[in-house]
Amino acid sequence: MTTSQPVSQLGSHEVFNQPEPQRAVDLWGQDQALREHAIAAGGRGDQLVRVGAKWGGETLRVAAEDARRDLPRLKMFDRSGRRVDEVEFHPGYHAVMQAGLEAGYTSSAWDGQAGGQATHAALVYYMAQLEPGVACPLTMTYAAVPALRHQPELAEVWTPRLTSGVYDPSSTPIATKRGATLGMAMTEKQGGSDVRANTTKASRDSEAYRLNGHKWFCSAPMCDGFLTLAKAEGGLTCFLVPRWLDGERNGIHIQRLKDKLGNKANASSEIEYHNALAYRIGEEGAGVRAIIEMVHHTRLDTVLAPAGLMRAALQEAHWWVSSRSAFQKRLIDQPMMRSVLADLAVDTEAALSVGMFLASAFDRDDAESRALARIGVALAKYLNNKRCIGVIAEAMEMLGGMGYVEETPMPMLYREAPLNGIWEGSGNVICLDVLRALVKEPQAGDALMNVLLSMTGSDARYDAALKAHLARWPGLPMEAEARWFVESLAVLLTAASLMKTAPSEVAEGYVSSRVARDRGAFPGAVGGMDVDAIIARLG
Ligand SMILES: Cc1cc2nc3c(=O)[nH]c(=O)nc-3n(C[C@H](O)[C@H](O)[C@H](O)COP(=O)(O)OP(=O)(O)OC[C@H]3O[C@@H](n4cnc5c(N)ncnc54)[C@H](O)[C@@H]3O)c2cc1C
C-alpha cells in the first residue's frame, strides 16, 4: 500500500513532539499587526488580502525553495565560443518573479491610486517572507522609476514596461517587450560607499555615450537595463545601459556570479562594460543627484524587508513553541519562553510600524512629508537591520537544534538578516548620511522633530528620553558618536510611530524596554511588559 502519510511508529521508537511543518501561512489573515499598520498607512486591503493568501500558499513556497536550492548558472559562451552572457534560473525563480510583478510590487506605487507606496511596502514585507533574493530585482525596478524622470524620453520608453505588471524574461531588445526590469550597477572594486572614486569612463558617441570599466556588484544581470555611474567629461554621471541594442547585445560582459552567504536565488554578478552604449540620465556631473532618487526608494524597501524577515522567523518560532513541549509543559506556556516571544514580537511590530509610517509619508506629496521620508528612511534602515540579526538568531534558538537545520526556514532567514544593512548604505555610511541630511536639508530635521514632539504628553518615559536626547546633543554629535545619536533618534521615531498606531500593550512594551531601557542586553530579559496581551496578537 502506498500512502503519503509519514510513518510515526518506527521499529526503534515512536516519533512525537515534533511540530508538523506549516504548509501554508496566510500572510495577511494571520498577521494582525500588518493588517492594522498597513491600513493605518493607507495600504490597499483588497490587494493585500489576495496577495497574502497566494504568496503564503504551498505552491509559491515550494517554487521559492527550488529557486534557492537550484542556484542560478552563468552561461558566458555558446557552444561555438561566442559570448552570450546569460543567466539560467530554475523555473521556481521565474514563478516567484512573475508573482511579484503581477501582484504590483513594481507598479502599485506608481499607478496614481491612493496608498500606492504603503501597498508596495506591504508587498516588500511579504516578499521577504517568501523569497528575499527575488526582492532585489523587483525593488530596483520599482525604485528606478523616479530616477528615470530626470530624462523624460527614456522614461517614456521604459516606465510603462517597468510598471506593466508583466513578467517577460525574454532576452530581447526593450522595444519588443511588454514588461521589463531594471538593475543597478554602482559599486566598483576600489570603493562602493565612496562612489566618487568610480573609475568607469564614459565618452560621448553622438547622442549617447560609450562606457568602459567594471562594476564589482551587479545583482541582477538578467535585467533589461542598468542604472549605472561613470565618469564623463563633466564629472560623475548617471546612465541607463540597456542589455540589448536593436538586434544585438550591448557590450556588457558578465565576469562571474558571486558565491554569497545567502540571497541564493539572486544572481549577483561582476560585470565589465566594453564600449557599452549608454544613455545619460540628468546632467553630466549630476550623477549622484540622479541616482539618489533610486537609492531613496530602495532604502524604503531595506526598511520593510528586515521587518518581513523578522516576521517570518517570529511566525515560525511561535508555531513551533505552540506545538512542542519540554518538561511536561508546552514551550509557549513556560514563563521565560513567553518573555522571549513577546520581546521578539515587539521588535518585529516596531520594525513594521515605522516602515509603514514612512511609506505613508512617501505617499504624501507635501514638502513636510518628503522631508520626513528623507531622514526617516535612513534612521529606520539603520535600526531595523541592526535588530533583525538578533531577532532571527533568537527565534532560531527557540526551535532548539531544529532551528539550525535547513529543513526549517531559520538558516535561510539568518543568512539574509545582515544583507539589507549592508547594501544601499552600510551602517556607518547611513549614520553619516543622517548627519549630512541634518546639515544640508534642515527641513528634514524639522520634520522629524515635529513628529517626535507631536507625541509628547502620551508617555512620561518617552518625554524624558526625548528631553535627554536633546540635552545630550543640542546640535550634531561628533562623528565618532554618530551611531549612538542615530540609534537614539531611530528608537524615538519608532516609539512615536507605535504610539500613533499600535495598541497600548505594544507601544508601552516598546517604550519601557527600548526607550526607557528597563531591560537586560539580550532578548527576553525584560520586565514590565504585558506579555500575555502581546502574545495574544500573534494569533
Ligand atoms: C548581496 C549584495 C548585492 C549587492 N548588489 C549590488 C548591486 O546590484 N549594485 C551595486 O551597485 N551594488 C551592490 N552591492 C554592493 C553594496 O551596495 C556595497 O557593498 C556597499 O555599498 C558597500 O560598499 P563596499 O562593499 O565597497 O564597502 P566599503 O565602501 O569599502 O565600506 C566598508 C565599510 O566601511 C564603512 N565606511 C565607509 N566609509 C566610512 C566612513 N567615512 N566612516 C566610517 N565607516 C565607513 C562602511 O559602512 C562599511 O561598513 C551589493 C552588495 C551585496 C552584499
pLDDT tens track for 128-175: 999 999 999 999 999 999 999 999 999 999 999 999 999 999 999 999
Whole-angstrom distance, CA of residue 90 vs CA of residue 296: 31
Question: pLDDT tens digits, residue range 186-210?
Answer: 999 999 999 999 999 999 999 999 9
* 451 and 510 housed in the same domain: yes
Is the CB of residue 483 below 6 angstroms from any atom belonging to ligand 1? no
What's the confidence (pLDDT) of residue 141?
A: 98
Which protein residue's CA is at the shortest distance from atom 11 of ligand 1?
Answer: 186
Flag whether 324 is in a domain: yes
Flag whether 331 is in a domain: yes
Position 3 confidence tier, pLDDT thresholds 50, 70, 90: low
Is the CB of residue 423 below 6 angstroms from any atom belonging to ligand 1? yes
Is the CB of residue 217 below 6 angstroms from any atom belonging to ligand 1? yes
Question: pLDDT tens digits, residue range 421-479?
Answer: 999 999 999 999 999 999 999 999 999 999 999 999 999 999 999 999 999 999 999 99
CA-188 nearest atom, ligand 1: 26
Flag whether 8 is in a domain: no
Is the CB of residue 294 below 6 angstroms from any atom belonging to ligand 1? no
Flag whether 227 is in a domain: yes
374, three cell numbers? 528623507
- Check pLDDT > 90 for residue 539: no
* 300 and 201 housed in the same domain: no
Strands 325-326 vs 329-330: parallel, antiparallel or unpaired: antiparallel
- Check pLDDT > 70 for residue 408: yes
CA-266 nearest atom, ligand 1: 1
* 339 and 223 housed in the same domain: no
**What is the largest distance, in Å, between two alpha-carbon atoms of the chain?**
78
Domain span holding position 341:
289-536
* 243 and 96 housed in the same domain: yes
What's the confidence (pLDDT) of residue 528?
A: 82
Which protein residue's CA is at the shortest distance from atom 31 of ligand 1?
Answer: 193
Query: CATH number for the domain including 392?
Result: 1.20.140.10
* 259 and 354 housed in the same domain: no
Q: Mean pLDDT for the chain? A: 97
Q: Please state the pTM of the whole predicted model.
A: 0.98
What's the confidence (pLDDT) of residue 247?
A: 86
Position 365 confidence tier, pLDDT thresholds 50, 70, 90: confident
- Check pLDDT > 80 for residue 1: no
* 378 and 425 housed in the same domain: yes
CA–centroid distance, 185 to ligand 1, in Å, is 12
* 378 and 247 housed in the same domain: no
Q: 498's torsion region: left (phi>0), alpha (psi -120 to 50) or beta?
A: alpha
CA–centroid distance, 372 to ligand 1, in Å, is 25
* 491 and 465 housed in the same domain: yes
* 212 and 147 housed in the same domain: yes
Q: How far apart are the first and last CA of the chain?
A: 39
Question: pLDDT tens digits, residue range 366-405?
Answer: 999 999 999 999 999 999 999 999 999 999 999 999 999 9
CA-185 nearest atom, ligand 1: 11
Is the CB of residue 428 below 6 angstroms from any atom belonging to ligand 1? yes
CA–centroid distance, 299 to ligand 1, in Å, is 14
> CB–CB of 97/137 below 8 Å?
yes
Flag whether 181 is in a domain: yes
Determine what percent of the chain is predicted with pLDDT higher than 70. Answer: 99
- Which of 134, 181, 184, 193 for a ligand 1 pocket mutation test, highest count of atoms within 8 Å of Cβ? 193
Is the CB of residue 282 below 6 angstroms from any atom belonging to ligand 1? no
Flag whether 24 is in a domain: no
CA-258 nearest atom, ligand 1: 1
Strands 182-185 vs 225-232: parallel, antiparallel or unpaired: parallel
Query: CATH number for the domain including 43?
Result: 2.40.110.20
143, three cell numbers? 525604485
What's the confidence (pLDDT) of residue 61?
A: 97
Flag whether 249 is in a domain: yes
Is the CB of residue 322 below 6 angstroms from any atom belonging to ligand 1? no
Which protein residue's CA is at the shortest distance from atom 13 of ligand 1?
Answer: 217
- Check pLDDT > 70 for residue 292: yes
Q: Domain ends where: 248, 268, 285?
A: 285
Is the CB of residue 261 below 6 angstroms from any atom belonging to ligand 1? no
Is the CB of residue 144 below 6 angstroms from any atom belonging to ligand 1? no
- Check pLDDT > 80 for residue 414: yes
CA-426 nearest atom, ligand 1: 47
Q: Domain ends where: 227, 259, 285?
A: 285
Question: pLDDT tens digits, residue range 311-350?
Answer: 999 999 999 999 999 999 999 999 999 999 999 999 999 9
* 173 and 264 housed in the same domain: yes
> CB–CB of 271/252 below 8 Å?
yes
Q: How far is CA 20 from CA 8, 26, 322, 387, in A?
A: 12, 17, 11, 29
* 302 and 443 housed in the same domain: yes
CA–centroid distance, 420 to ligand 1, in Å, is 11
Whole-angstrom distance, CA of residue 411 vs CA of residue 419: 14
Catalogue the E-assigned strands of 308-361: 325-326, 329-330
Flag whether 19 is in a domain: no
Is the CB of residue 263 below 6 angstroms from any atom belonging to ligand 1? yes
Q: How many domains does the chain have?
A: 2
* 129 and 107 housed in the same domain: yes
Q: Domain ends where: 285, 315, 346?
A: 285
Number of Cβ within a 10 Å radius of residue 25: 23
Position 2 confidence tier, pLDDT thresholds 50, 70, 90: low
- Which of 422, 430, 483 for a ligand 1 pocket mutation test, highest count of atoms within 8 Å of Cβ? 422
